[in-house]
């Protein structure tokens, strides 16, 4: 009997600890408490190692902090000089900018030129050509890097450029690239490529940082050409995995002042992983591009959430909200914002994959469909292959990059996105959205409500676990 009382007291203490720690996220607290009841006492162990609040890997010294702030201030000044006279136009036309001008940490940038890639083969070709033309440095950062045909091709090119004297730096995520072998990395290092791993699994486990992943996808060449979007490095992204088939993604290349902030993001991540503060002016050259686009780069993570941006994009819409995402798990605020928008007459359409890559996450996404269908949202399942594009269009603005429409991307992962103000780019993304609609099946509410009871049970169970996704 005493050991039963002791076990009960321990369980109560664990529940209290979770409530105190997660009081800002009641949904997350409820999910962890459910785990405790499913696997009493033991259930606290994964919470202990996974749910710790984020803490920075490296703390800047006073001198390093001054250098970084001076470096950032110089970039902001340069960008403000180039955008002078244009920002007011954006402000008048964008409620989003008015609401978040004091929230986003990076400024508007001018003189940009964007290329949108929806065909992954074309995107990788452009990246490889840009890397091959590098003269000074190549900075790359990916969540997933695979030792397959595409990975080998990129590895060989990086080795070649390093041997030519180009400075090559590569960052990868320890969990996302956990299958990447030592031989792959050693060949790069032997050629002179500098490599950093964001939170190696074992280190992340003991530091209780497993939940915080670097999901960014960055390539910067000579500080003048930047790539970001949804693509990682692996053959499946070229449609070579038969379980997925055709891979539909959205990726971008940019020239202009926006590249400075893609570079800034890489350099801050490099410091986070390697402890090396790179502020040399050669990494932030004067941008001679004379494009006409205004772009705002948005870096986010557990210490600077993107949730406010997503919420504001939705509530500021007057005519249309188009969303494409492989994972649709909105937080309660975003869910309410979507419902409010559609009930206010906004045309809200959401495309999700018809073929999932993660069944549990897919069931969780479906659990939100019925209540949003009832509110008036139109849902579509993409049928051509696997949909991995991450795009949100709000009236005449678009936001795209590495962020999924899920809780993990909102609050726990390091992401990189861009807000596009240029009508040409926004229209291109809208055209791509409607092209995807043409190969998608609309979910009809009356049919969806007839789904088997087992399916509904799976959705309910997945929804309860959604704070972990």
Catalytic residues, by residue number, are 215, 217, 222, 388, 390, 395
Burial of 274 by CB count in 10 Å (0-12 exposed, 13-18 middle, 19+ buried)?
middle
Cβ neighbors of 108 (< 8 A, separation 6 or more) are 79, 83, 86, 87, 90, 97, 294, 295, 296
Using CA atoms, how far apart are residues 414 and 217, in angstroms rounded to an integer?
Answer: 10
Looking at residue 58, what DSSP letter applies?
S
228 has which bridge partners?
Answer: 218, 252
Of 351, 354, 366, 362, the closest CA to residue 321 belongs to 351
Q: What is the DSSP string of 369-407?
A: HHHHHHHT-EEEEE-SSEE---EEEETTEEEEES--EEH
And the tokens for 225? 């050409």
Of 415, 409, 405, 215, the closest CA to residue 329 belongs to 405
Using CA atoms, how far apart are residues 209 and 419, in angstroms rounded to an integer?
Answer: 29
And the tokens for 147? 């030792």
Query: What number of residues does the chain have?
Result: 469
Cβ neighbors of 424 (< 8 A, separation 6 or more) are 293
Using CA atoms, how far apart are residues 35 and 464, in angstroms rounded to an integer?
Answer: 10
Phi, psi of 351 (to 5 degrees): -110, 130
Do residues 305 and 333 lie in contact, with contact meaning Cβ atoms separated by under 8 Å?
no
Contacts 24+ apart (CB under 8 A), 201-209: 201/174, 201/175, 203/174, 204/174, 204/175, 205/49, 208/48, 208/49, 208/50, 208/52, 209/52, 209/54, 209/55
And the tokens for 253? 């290349």
Using CA atoms, how far apart are residues 417 and 392, in angstroms rounded to an integer?
Answer: 11
In what helix (H) or strand (E) does residue 229 lie, and over which residues does it extend?
strand 225-229
Using CA atoms, how far apart are residues 103 and 46, in angstroms rounded to an integer?
Answer: 33
**Cα 237 to chain center, whole Å?**
16
Using CA atoms, how far apart are residues 269 and 277, in angstroms rounded to an integer?
Answer: 10
């Amino acid at each position: 009997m005493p050991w039963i009382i002791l076990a009960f007291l321990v369980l109560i203490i664990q529940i209290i600890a979770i409530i105190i720690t997660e009081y800002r996220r009641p949904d997350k607290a409820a999910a962890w408490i459910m785990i405790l009841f499913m696997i009493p006492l033991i259930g606290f162990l994964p919470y202990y190692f996974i749910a710790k609040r984020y803490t920075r890997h490296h703390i800047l010294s006073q001198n390093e902090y001054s250098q970084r702030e001076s470096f950032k201030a110089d970039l902001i000044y340069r960008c403000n000089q180039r955008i002078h006279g244009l920002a007011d136009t954006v402000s008048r036309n964008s409620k989003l900018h008015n609401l978040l001008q004091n929230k986003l940490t990076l400024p508007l940038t001018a003189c940009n030129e964007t290329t949108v890639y929806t065909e992954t083969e074309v995107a990788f070709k452009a990246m490889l050509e840009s890397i091959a033309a590098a003269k000074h440095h190549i900075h790359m950062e990916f969540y997933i890097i695979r030792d397959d045909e595409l990975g080998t091709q990129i590895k060989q090119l990086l080795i070649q450029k390093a041997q030519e004297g180009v400075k090559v730096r590569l960052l990868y995520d320890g969990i996302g690239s956990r299958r990447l072998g030592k031989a792959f990395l050693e060949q790069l290092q032997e050629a002179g490529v500098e490599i950093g791993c964001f939170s190696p699994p074992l280190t992340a486990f003991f530091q209780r940082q497993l939940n915080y992943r670097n999901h960014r996808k960055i390539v910067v060449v000579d500080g003048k050409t930047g790539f970001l979007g949804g693509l990682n490095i692996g053959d499946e992204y070229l449609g070579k995995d038969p379980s997925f088939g055709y891979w539909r993604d959205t990726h971008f290349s940019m020239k202009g002042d926006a590249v400075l902030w893609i570079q800034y993001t890489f350099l801050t991540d490099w410091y986070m992983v390697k402890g090396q503060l790179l502020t040399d002016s050669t990494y932030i050259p004067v941008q001679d591009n004379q494009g006409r686009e205004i772009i705002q780069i948005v870096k986010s993570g557990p210490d600077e959430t993107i949730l406010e941006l997503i919420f504001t994009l939705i509530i500021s819409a007057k005519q249309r909200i188009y969303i494409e995402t492989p994972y649709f798990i909105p937080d309660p605020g975003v869910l309410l914002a979507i419902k409010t928008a559609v009930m206010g007459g906004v045309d809200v359409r959401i495309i999700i994959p018809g073929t999932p890559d993660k069944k549990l996450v897919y069931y969780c996404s479906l659990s939100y469909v019925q209540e949003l269908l009832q509110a008036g949202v139109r849902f579509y399942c993409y049928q051509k292959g696997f949909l991995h594009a991450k795009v949100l269009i709000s009236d005449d603005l678009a936001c795209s990059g590495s962020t999924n429409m899920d809780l993990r991307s909102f609050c726990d992962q390091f992401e990189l996105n861009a807000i596009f103000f240029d009508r040409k780019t926004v229209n291109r993304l809208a055209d791509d959205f409607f092209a995807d609609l043409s190969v998608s099946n609309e979910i009809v509410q009356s049919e969806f409500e007839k789904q088997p009871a087992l399916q509904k049970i799976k959705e309910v169970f997945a929804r309860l676990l959604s704070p972990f996704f």
